[in-house]
Amino acid sequence: MLFNASLSAQSRLRYLLFAAVAVVGTLAIWAARTSDGKQLTQTVAAWPAAVAAHFSDNVGGGESNATVSLDPPHFILIGDSTTRGQSEDGGGWGNAFLWLLSRGATGVNHGVNGALSTGYYRSPTWNDAMQEVRQAAVSRAVYVTIQFGHNDQAPNSNVTLDLYQEALSGMAQDVLANGGTPILVTPLARRDFDADGVKVVDNLKDQRERTLLAYQDVLQAQQPGEKPARIVHLNEASLAYIGAIGPKAAYRYNKYHPLFPDTTHLNELGAIVFGRIIADLMLGHPPLLVQSGDKDSWAPGMGNDDDGLSNFFAPDPHLSARIWHGDAI
């Protein structure tokens, strides 16, 4: 009798343990959900309008007319803390982007925490970077990414939008004069949502538009036959991706801060995701969605106008597919 009572108690304990595991599992699944499926579908469907501008001349996947150099290129990354790597107390995409380089391609991250576009331009750091461009351009293609805006928009920065545009334009023209190819990058979107947690706040709109105007300034100033400056629409792409995955998933990319959520800077996971986005945009990866199993005619190396860079970036089809289909990492 005592044996049967003990067995019954053990059974009840097992049932309680199973129930507890089930409850914890249900809560974990609920917490991992990032956004409503219908909302995600609607958001992702709007991607082409947001990030397709620089693909408009290449619709159809025609062969590139670009002169492709097979010598390994050299990358120089210019920007603020959203470019600087986490190992240097930054919170940017830069080092993770450089990790993707392969087959002899090299790069260096000259991002500076707290930098303003106007303060960086013609600074000792900028002058050293231009010397590096001159030296490397003798034997190989040199690409210089330029991304600012986060610190420039602060009310106490004393950087007007006109000064911001002039600084970006001046930097890009200096790169050209020293034998490199400038790549203006619209600023990484902040992972801020409205009060309902549905819509991403477009709080770098002015800086995005002025970066595009600076790009047009440089193109108009270039001489016929010169290798043109390039543009990467990171702001539009990051806004679309953050909106697709929702606030819970987006916050997983935040750099740790003990007092408040840091929606500007990236941790290493965020750096890997957005470094991949930048590389894919450089290589001609589509903003358009492809159905599972369909051949992606805009994949890197498929004859797109990537300036030959697809030969020097390690591909990650799984990560790229998840990103461009709106899945959280």
Task: Tell me which of 258 and 5 has the higher pLDDT.
Answer: 258
Return mean pLDDT, the chain: 81
Q: Of 81, 96, 150, whose CA–CA distance to 268 is shortest?
A: 96
- Average pLDDT of the residues in 106-131: 98
Q: Identify which of 201-205, 225-229, 236-240, 306-310 has the greatest average pLDDT.
A: 201-205
Between 31-35, 45-49, 217-221, 313-317, the lowest mean confidence (pLDDT) is in 31-35
Position of tokens 């600084």? 167
Cβ(255)–Cβ(262) below 8 Å: yes
> What pLDDT shows up at residue 328?
92
Q: Is the pLDDT of residue 20 over 70?
A: no
Q: Identify which of 202-211, 285-294, 318-327 has the greatest average pLDDT.
A: 202-211
Position of tokens 């034998």? 179
Between 49-53, 148-152, 231-235, 309-313, the lowest mean confidence (pLDDT) is in 49-53
Decide if 23 is inside a domain: no
Residue 204 CB partners (closer than 8 Å, separation 6+):
149, 150, 153, 186, 187, 189, 190, 235
17 pLDDT band (50/70/90 cuts)?
low
Q: Of 81, 53, 240, whose CA–CA distance to 152 is shortest?
A: 81
Kindly state the percentage of the chain with pLDDT values over 90: 58
Name the CA dihedral angle for 264, 203, 208, 157, rounded to a multiple of 10 degrees.
-70
> What pLDDT shows up at residue 95?
97
Q: Is the pLDDT of residue 57 over 60?
A: no
Q: What CATH number should be reported for the domain holding residue 151?
A: 3.40.50.1110
Q: Identify which of 5-19, 113-127, 223-237, 292-306 has the greatest average pLDDT.
A: 113-127
Decide if 59 is inside a domain: no
Based on the structure, what is the number of domains in the chain? 1
297: helix, coil or strand? coil
- Reading phi first (left if > 0) and then psi (alpha if -120 to 50, else beta), residue 307 is in left
Task: Tell me which of 13 and 29 has the higher pLDDT.
Answer: 13
Decide if 41 is inside a domain: no
pLDDT digits over 152-209, tens only? Answer: 999 999 999 999 999 999 999 999 999 999 999 999 999 999 999 899 999 999 999 9
Decide if 259 is inside a domain: yes
Q: Is the pLDDT of residue 97 over 60?
A: yes
- Average pLDDT of the residues in 300-312: 66
Decide if 196 is inside a domain: yes
Decide if 176 is inside a domain: yes
Decide if 216 is inside a domain: yes
Between 109-118, 181-190, 296-305, the lowest mean confidence (pLDDT) is in 296-305
75: helix, coil or strand? strand
Between 84-88, 230-234, 315-319, the lowest mean confidence (pLDDT) is in 315-319
Q: Is the pLDDT of residue 279 over 50?
A: yes
- Average pLDDT of the residues in 82-86: 97
Task: Tell me which of 188 and 310 has the higher pLDDT.
Answer: 188
Decide if 108 is inside a domain: yes
Per the structure, the complete domain to which residue 318 belongs is given by 68-324
> What pLDDT shows up at residue 290?
37
Task: Tell me which of 36 and 133 has the higher pLDDT.
Answer: 133
